[in-house]
Amino acid sequence: MDPVALIDRAHLARQTFGDTELAHELLGLFAEQCRSLLPGIVDTARPITERADLAHTLKGSALGIGAGRVAHLSGAIEDRLRAGEAAGPTDALSDAVAETLAVLAPAT
């Protein structure tokens, strides 16, 4: 999987065995997760462990569908939060999520 790709279509096709209907469904679920998880990840009023868990969940979802940039950034945020540090690139993650959702808009 390309770690900087918004969506690695070849990875997604492998994950879904070429089933375009399944791919479409997974992309829709991923978009929903982005919209529900991102606010909690960037919310500095939330406990660090909770934010790290949310980032971990988003990273796993992104890895599953080939959203390399979102996976990379959410993983970096998770690592920093688990180390007790400031979350780091939350603006970059927000941008990557927005760009990815824009690419998915016709599919979701």
Q: What is the pLDDT of residue 22?
A: 95
Confidence at residue 87, expressed as pLDDT on a 0 to 100 scale: 74
Structure tokens at 3: 């770690």
All residues at 6 or more sequence positions from 66 whose CB lies less than 8 Å from its CB, including other chains: 1, 2, 5, 7, 8, 9, 10, 11, 12, 15
Q: Divide the 108 residues of the chain into consecutive groups of 10 and give the mean pLDDT of each group.
A: 81 94 95 97 95 98 96 96 87 95 77
DSSP H stretches of helix in 1-88: 9-15, 20-42, 48-65, 68-82
Give the pLDDT confidence score for residue 5 in this predicted structure.
Answer: 79
pTM of the predicted model as reported, rounded to 2 decimal places: 0.91
What pLDDT is stored for residue 105 in this prediction?
77
Element (DSSP H or E) covering residue 8: none
